[in-house]
Copies of this chain bind each other. A is one copy, B any other.
């Protein structure tokens, strides 16, 4: 899928996320955009829905937060499963793709005749800088 022109709200949300050094929750994004006229959570969630659909933003299920994709120029939907390492100290996120893991999981799903639609692979822990 090619990413269409972003609307005003979508751009605002996307910019906040690309500038952030860590994942942001929807309500944090809302607070950061109050000066630009945002008043309600739905304004954020609607923009996020589209950005997720376009594959330029990821949702981190385990921390109810969102990050800009680390590979903004490609289509994230095309490189299969995405894994994230999330530092619980500094919040930094490392994004990661691996064909081997991909195939292995996909083969197993196939053996179960399970039709995969969305995937979540998230590892929480401490990054090199923050590890004790």
Which residues of A come within 8 Å of B, CB atoms?
Answer: 61-62, 83, 85, 87-88, 94, 96, 98, 100-101, 104-105, 108-109, 112-128, 131
Contacts and interface: CB of A to CB of B under 8 A. Distances in A.
Contact of A100 (B104, B122, B124): B104
Contacts of A112: 85, 94, 127-128
Contacts of A109: 85, 123, 125
A118 B114 contact: no
B98 A114 contact: no
Given A85-B109, A112-B85, A124 B131 contact: no
A85 B114 contact: yes
Given A100-B104, A101-B105, A117-B125, 7 more contacts: A83-B108, A94-B114, A105-B123, A113-B131, A114-B125, A114-B127, A119-B123
Given A100-B104, A101-B101, A105-B101, A131 B115 contact: yes
Contacts of A116: 85, 123-125
Among the interface residues A105, A116, A120, A124, which one has the most CB atoms of the partner chain B within 10 A? A120
